Structure 1
Amino acid sequence: MLAWAVAGWALFALPGLFLSGTWWPWLLPDLVPPLAFLAVPLVLLALCAAVGDRVRRRWQTGALVVLLLAGAGRAGVHWGALVPGGGPGPAPAGALRVFSWNTLYWDTTDDPAAFHRFLRARDADVYLLQEYLAWEEGTHTEIDRLAALRAAFPGYRVVVRGELVTLSRFPVVATPPVGPGQATDDRSVPWRERFERNKVLRTDVDVAGRVVSFYNVHVPVQLDIERSPLSRGFYRVVRDTDAVRKAHYAALLADARANPHPLLVSGDFNTTPAMGDLDGLRGAFADAATASSSALPVSWGPGPLPLWRLDWTFTGGGLRVHRYALTDPGDLSDHRGQELLVSPAPAAGGG
């Protein structure tokens, strides 16, 4: 049984190294909690001690060590948090507070007053919020909460595109469209089209005379849980959504790479550490979780114990991260919020 378990895990774990992010059906195996890539080999290694046959025990142990090493980078563990004194340096005066959060249908399932209190308590300079919408009669629905939002955040600039809302204490100098949503800036375009095509909201703000770009992101989820896995429609949705996800990722990566400003890319990516979809961003920009004190920065999951990291923040262009923490919003959302303290590196010439 142990031999079959080792072989079965190898047949599951190893193909993902090559198929994740490239072959759409692998979006489904990718749903496994990333920590399994460490936990399963470790459990099987412990069971190997009971194998009486020395030769069999040796090859099973060797195979599991290989699987453990192959999965270590996919498990979502922040190894730096285990090293004493490995945290980021102190933040300079004037560092920016940023809060990024999937609100879970805004305040439509909550007490609006509690919702706004939670947001104000973050006291952020920039808010990157997703799911400015409602879920009614089995579909996403447009809402109008901007008057209440502006009343709750006087002095903030409010930028909205589709389901994405960005608030900034600083002046907004540009909101360049990114990706498939470029043709939907016109407010005459139906809301559903704006919602489906706008999954990246770029907002350039003026911070003490220096432009910093904030990308507010919500990559579409890869499956429709309302459909039966036994139906053809279930897999058609996965295939079609994979193409949409790839289009948004490619546009985001191209825009961010060409951006000359310090930048922060943050939001709900519906993508785990084990998935290859994030390889482009991880290769081009810095993961803000390296500034976290948590060895397992997980942000989503049913119940009190999240098992998946779906919410990410990346920085580039010299933007430094001095603090990264995941905040439990209680009953307001099933996603934890990302709280950051960041600052641009000094401009060339000492400015």
Structure 2
Amino acid sequence: MNLPPISGAAAGTRAHRTATRLLVGVTAAWALLVALGQLLSGRWWLWLLPDLAPPPAFVAVPVLLFALACAVTRGRTRRWLLPALAVLLVAGVGRAGLHWGALVPGAGPGAAPGQALRVFSWNTLYWDTTDDPDAFHRYLRSKDADVYLLQEHLGWEDGKHKEIDRLARLRAEFPGYHLVARGELVTLSRYPVVAAPPVGPGRAPGASASWRERFEWNKVLRTDVDVAGTVVSFYNVHVPVQLDIERSWLSPGFYGVVRATDPVRKEHYAALLGDARANPHPLLISGDFNTTPAMGDLAGLREAFRDALPASSSFLPGTWGVGGLPLWRLDWTFTDEALRVHRYALVSAAACSVRNRPRPAVAAGRGRG
């Protein structure tokens, strides 16, 4: 049977309709993902997995779809699709983790005053067990910080965390500093430490608790420091990671870890937020939260305290990445209104080890910001 040939105009119309339907379908799917994220992120354990989506996508995807809609759609479809994509773009701005102020000429942070505290926060990734110990301590000393907030004072062996003790070497490398260690967390201070009250779940293990118990329960180390007559509280934080990358995502055990970790993460977040809100002292909270800007777990802290990001010059601040390229933040620094952050920088640890990602360095001063 001979079929009539399809004209170029008819073929073009069919291709246009297909492209339009595809664009509308992708937009609807993205809108559903954004809406469900607003409802479920930080509330339902399984949403920890969709929350692993790259935060910049919350801006990049609507922008790309908007450009395609301008090129492909017309008439009534365009009149409703473009405003819908604009709404999705606005909804995604706060979840993308971008520092828009860095794009404003002359709006970058100035020099910190001489009396400002210098704080260095670093997830060491298994301390010096993956590095040359001399290079590791040389790198730490090069930061010349008044306060160091260090995570992962531990090793990794046979697929498990392993207790280590490098505190004697650390004291020798930093004479005159005051040291507080609990679980995997270590805080060093040039100024006298007046208190180190346990926070939340950290109260559970007693003096006879095993290292494993101290490691699992102590994810927030609060250290109260006397800075020239004013007590300032520093919170050293390492929120547990939400998944086990060694397991296949097709295995039940993978989802079992996610489900079991979610209430633990929530418990540490609640303890930190409750203690910080009740704290009468000026305070700084910093560390590895294993939480992206798109995740609802940070909502309480972001509402109650000030993110240090406005004092940064980076448009896309990244403390986690691939192949040495930082992509987005898992590490955060917050202060209350009694502390002003003059400068917030993510400095590379490449000189120490390619496995160590950038760390936040903060210059903060007392006084209303």
- Same fold flag (TM > 0.5): yes
Conserved 8 A contact 2:109-2:313: no
Find the partner of 2:63 among 31, 37, 42.
42
In structure 2, distance between residues paired with 1:327 and 1:87: 16
Aligned to 2:8: none
Matched, 1:200 2:215: no
- Kindly indicate whether the alpha-carbon contact (under 8 Å) linking 2:305 and 2:336 is maintained by their aligned counterparts in 1: yes
The correspondence of residues 29-178 of structure 1 with structure 2, limited to 5 A, is 29-88=50-109, 91-178=112-199
* Residue equivalent to 2:297: 277
Deviates more, 1:78-87 or 1:159-168: 78-87
C-alpha displacement at 1:117, in angstroms? 1.0
1:152-178 deviation digits (Å, cap 9, x = unpaired): 111111110000000001111000000
Matched, 1:338 2:364: no
Is contact 2:316–2:328 with CA below 8 Å preserved after alignment? Answer: no
Deviation at 1:68, TM superposition (A): 0.6
Distance of 2:138 and 2:110 partners within structure 1: 31
Distance 1:117 1:284, change over 3 A: same
- Residues 102 and 333, structure 1, Cα contact 8 Å, conserved in 2: no
Counterpart of 2:14 in structure 1 is: none
The AA in structure 1 aligned to 2:358 is R
CA–CA distance in structure 2, aligned partners of residues 234 and 87 of structure 1: 43
- How many aligned positions are there? 345
Per-residue Cα deviation, 1:92-122 (whole angstroms, up to 9, x for no partner) = 3321110001000001011111111111110
CA distance in 2, matches of 1:333, 1:259: 35
Q: Is the 8 A contact 2:316 2:327 kept in 1?
A: no
Aligned pairs for 1:187-226 within 5 A: 188-226=208-246
Does structure 2 retain, via aligned residues, the 8 Å contact 1:302–1:334?
no
* Cα distance change of structure 1 residues 8 and 129 upon mapping to structure 2, 3 Å threshold: same
Distance 1:78 1:129 in 2: 25
Aligned AA for 2:174?
F
1:162·1:198 contact (CA, 8 Å) conserved in 2? yes
296, 311, 318: which one aligns with 2:316: 296
Runs of 4+ in 1 over 6 A off after TM superposition: none
Structure with the greater alpha carbon radius of gyration: 2
Q: Does 1:321 align with 2:341?
A: yes
Counterpart Cα distance in 1 of 2:109 and 2:57: 28
Give the stretch that moved more between structures: 243-252 or 8-17: 8-17
State the shift of 1:323 in Å: 0.5
- Aligned AA for 1:176? P
What SS is found at the alignment partner of 1:214?
strand
Residues 14 and 99 of structure 1, relative CA distance in 2, 3 Å threshold: same
Aligned to 1:254: 274
Residue deviations 1:59-94, cap 9 Å, x none?
222221111111011100112222234345653332
For the pair 1:181 / 2:202, whether they are aligned, the reply is yes
Q: Secondary structure at the match of 1:282?
A: helix
Q: Mark the runs of 5 or more structure 2 residues left unpaired by the alignment.
A: 1-21
Structure 2 counterpart of 1:321, one-letter code: V
In 2, Cα distance between the equivalents of 1:209 and 1:274?
Answer: 39
Q: How far is the alpha carbon of 1:286 from its aligned partner?
A: 0.4
Q: Is the 8 A contact 1:110 1:332 kept in 2?
A: no
